[in-house]
Structure 1
Amino acid sequence: MPEIQVRKRLITVEEIFHEGGPPAETPLRRAAALAVVKNPYAGRYVEDIQPFMEDLKPFGLTMAKALIDALGGDPSVVEGYGKGAIVGSAGEIEHGALWHAPGGYAMRELLGDAKAIVPSTKKVGGPGTRLDVPVTHINASYVRGHFDAIEVGITDAPRADEIVFVLVMTTGARIHDRAGGLKAKDIKGEDGLR
């Protein structure tokens, strides 16, 4: 496979102080890292696309590290995560699926062997396409207060022969979480669910 060709990267960090109620003692931070990469399979059908997934594994680690750094460099503050991909129109949805292992395992590794599956989404779209990336708790998918989504996109991406790879992380539950269910403090950590 050719070397991964990156046209641009974007890292954004959002701080939420309140959602109409009292200000939080500690603001919730939500961060997203996006990378616009040339799609080596654009414009043609290729049966064996898994070699690109292998090439993306170190790239996933680089993106995950940059995202942790954007949140202050301490992986222990990260409580939620998710991933996604937007494939340009000359590609196919399966090209975005190649991000599942490189993106998910990279975050899990750098966050200390997080237990929960990394939620994911993908779509095919043109420049300016927006993607809602789902978020769950890193160690227990059933922690309801961490169910969230982060909307991402880049004005001029993806071009037809590109893919936008996305990783997201959060530092806690939604501000003013009061929908009930399992709380982070009650996680047993046995199965990635509870």
Structure 2
Amino acid sequence: MPKVVVRKFVVAVEEILHESGPPPAVPARRAAVLAVIENPYAGRYEPEIQDFMADLKPLGLEMSRRLVAALGGDPAVVEGYGKGAIVGGAGELEHAALWHNPGGYAMRELLGDAKAIVPSSKKVGGPGARLDVPVTHVNASYVRSHFDAMEVGIADAPRAGEMVLALVMTTGPRVHARVGGLKASEIKGEDGLR
């Protein structure tokens, strides 16, 4: 199995004090942690890549811990999450899919076995490529107030033989969410959907 080689981490935190209308009583926060890693499959087609997911699991947990710490250290404040990956030009889109399991399950585990599937996005791009990471409620995918996204990217990554792996967490709904649907207070939490 390939070794996970990290070039750097980037952590970004947004604290939203105002969106048109009255300021929220408590500022909304969202944060992303990005890891730039070597892509062990860059430059060639490798038919068997699935084992690398197991190698990425410890990185997923480390990134999840960094993200919770960036939001104050208490996993209980996290209400939304998402994940994504950008693969450098010598790789392929399927390499980004390797992040689905280790990134998603790490967050779910750290947050106390969250129920909802972790939404994701992925692409192939060069240094400075941006990615909109989708976000949903951690326990129910149909809570509209928590449908969100956070744009991420790094000026010098991914280089051709790298991948940028991303995790995002939020502390609540969009500021002034008011488009109806299932409310967070109505979640049953039985199936990750409602």
Q: TM-score range by the shorter chain?
A: over 0.9
| 1:59 match | 59
| 2:187 match | 187
Counterpart residue identity of residue 17, structure 1: L
**Partners of 1:31 and 1:70 within 8 A in 2:** yes
TM-fit CA distance, 1:2: 3.4
Which string of whole-angstrom CA distances, capped at 9 and with x for unpartnered residues, describes residues 115-166 of structure 1?
0000000000000000000000000000000000000000010000000000
Question: 1:28 & 1:55 partners in 2: Cα distance?
Answer: 34
Matches within 5 A, 1:33-52: 33-52=33-52
| 2:92 match | 92
Matches within 5 A, 1:150-189: 150-189=150-189
Which string of whole-angstrom CA distances, capped at 9 and with x for unpartnered residues, describes residues 48-68 of structure 1?
101211100111000001100
Structure 2: gaps spanning 5 or more residues:
none
Question: 1:143 & 1:53 partners in 2: Cα distance?
Answer: 29
Counterpart residue identity of residue 43, structure 2: G
**Partners of 1:17 and 1:175 within 8 A in 2:** no
TM-fit CA distance, 1:106: 0.1
SS at match of 1:64: helix
**Superposed CA RMSD:** 0.6
Counterpart residue identity of residue 24, structure 2: A
Question: 1:54 & 1:112 partners in 2: Cα distance?
Answer: 20
Find out whether 1:105 has 2:105 as its counterpart.
yes
Question: 1:95 & 1:54 partners in 2: Cα distance?
Answer: 14
**Partners of 1:86 and 1:123 within 8 A in 2:** yes
| 2:118 match | 118
Which string of whole-angstrom CA distances, capped at 9 and with x for unpartnered residues, describes residues 73-127 of structure 1?
1000000000000000000000000000000000000000000000000000000
Which string of whole-angstrom CA distances, capped at 9 and with x for unpartnered residues, describes residues 7-26 of structure 1?
11100110001211101010
Structure 1: gaps spanning 5 or more residues:
none
Counterpart residue identity of residue 81, structure 2: Y
Matches within 5 A, 1:65-76: 65-76=65-76
SS at match of 1:159: coil
TM-fit CA distance, 1:3: 2.2
Question: 2:46 & 2:141 partners in 1: Cα distance?
Answer: 34
**Partners of 1:117 and 1:141 within 8 A in 2:** yes
Question: 1:178 & 1:125 partners in 2: Cα distance?
Answer: 35
| 1:19 match | 19
Counterpart residue identity of residue 57, structure 1: K
Counterpart residue identity of residue 35, structure 1: A
Question: 1:124 & 1:115 partners in 2: Cα distance?
Answer: 29
- Larger mean CA deviation between 106-115 and 13-22 belongs to 13-22
Question: 2:70 & 2:35 partners in 1: Cα distance?
Answer: 15
Counterpart residue identity of residue 106, structure 1: A
Question: 2:188 & 2:114 partners in 1: Cα distance?
Answer: 13
Number of aligned positions between the proteins = 194
- State TM-score, norm by structure 2: 0.99
